[in-house]
Amino acid sequence: MVLMQGLSRSAETLLVCRAHYPHNLLHCLKVKAPSNTSGIVSVILLGFPNIGSFRWILFTLLLVIYCVTICGNLLIIALVSISQNLHSPMYFFLSCLSICDIMWITDIVPNALYCLQVEVGIMCFRCCFVQYYFFAATLCVECLLLAVMSFDRYLAICSPLRYTSIMKMVMCRCMALISWSLSFFVIWLLTLSIYLLDFCGPYVINHFFCDFSPLLQMSCSDTSMIQLEVTLLSVPVVFLPFIFIISTYVCILSSIFQIRALTQRQKAFSTCSSHQTVVSVFYGTIISTYLVPSNGETMKASKILSLLYTVGTPLLNPIIYSLRNKDIKLAIIKCIQKLFPTKGE
């Protein structure tokens, strides 16, 4: 029975490879056969099949985006560290967000570039789980950090007199530490539960990284409990932060509309507009991605949406905050003046 199941799974892997890479079938099948139904050694990442010459255009685009994203987020971290006018809770959380974005995009893009270069990517089974762990953990960290940043904006606009007494740097560090610790612990529990399932193939992931659904599709165990577990574990790190962000912005907007002076109202809007834009892009792309079914022709749309939030969000965050923030612009100008002083100085 086990032998027949293994043969059927191997045949299914062959059919998937033949469908997506008929011209490169041997490379697609360059994966070690498992010794039993739960002994997968390697998995195949199909990446972006059947895109022809566009492959190298996408490779170059992703490489440029990756370099720009790393440089942009490192710039924000450096500015927050060395600029005295950026030593405030909002910019502290922004630097934490930049660290999260660097980890997130570094977990995804290098492997996507590898898949584009070799056409068919091969990843060890455990490495696939490591990639999923850091991807899911940093995604949850981003959710919690955005919620903490919305709380910071809520206090600054709705309770300005209590802001300095509540948002002390010790409090900010504690909230950041809780965000990181809770996310990595929750995702560790989920990843461990998935890893302990029985896996029997097919050993093919029709994606450019190891996501939740493709991992479950390789399992021959009953995954209903895992589905329930991911729903329960996502409540404290995804759903509650999202509801909290919406609630805080309802309060923020109601407070802003009560301000009579137009200049003060515009100033209040400008202090939270960047964060609102980042939240809209982040949650908009994620909700769109996971509402789209991952079968048939819609898989192509799912991959495009996945690119938007795994690559686009870390790229847009430093751009949005730097272009729409006067303090960061001023810090950049001061740093440039220190590096390249004029002759009169």
Q: What does pTM read for this prediction?
A: 0.84
Q: Where are the alpha helices (DSSP H) in 83-168?
A: 89-118, 125-158, 160-166
Read off the pLDDT of each residue in 291-302 and give the average, rounded to a whole number.
60
Using only C-alpha atoms, the chain has a radius of gyration, in whole angstroms, of: 23
Provide the residue type at 268 as one letter: A
Q: Tell me the per-residue pLDDT of 177-214, one tens digit each, with 9 for 90 and over.
A: 999 999 999 999 999 999 998 887 677 888 888 888 88
> pLDDT over 90 for what percent of the chain?
30
**CA–CA distance, 240 with 229 (Å, rounded to integer):** 16
On average, the pLDDT of the chain sits at: 81
Q: From edge to edge, which strands make up the β-sheet containing 42-45? A: 121-124, 42-45, 204-205
214 φψ region: left (φ > 0), alpha (ψ -120 to 50), beta (else):
alpha
Q: Where are the domains of the chain?
A: 2-339
| pLDDT surpassing 50 at residue 335 | yes
Q: Tell me the per-residue pLDDT of 111-167, one tens digit each, with 9 for 90 and over.
A: 989 888 887 788 888 899 999 999 999 999 999 999 999 999 899 888 888 898 899
CA dihedral 262, 267, 271, 275 (to 10 degrees): 40
The pLDDT value given to residue 330: 82
Contact 1, 164 (CB under 8 A): no
**CA–CA distance, 195 with 38 (Å, rounded to integer):** 10
Instruction: Mention every residue, 6+ apart, whose C-beta is less than 8 A from residue 205.
Output: 43, 44, 45, 46, 128, 214, 215, 217, 218
- The CATH number assigned to the domain with range 2-339 reads 1.20.1070.10
CA dihedral 309, 103, 77, 282 (to 10 degrees): 20
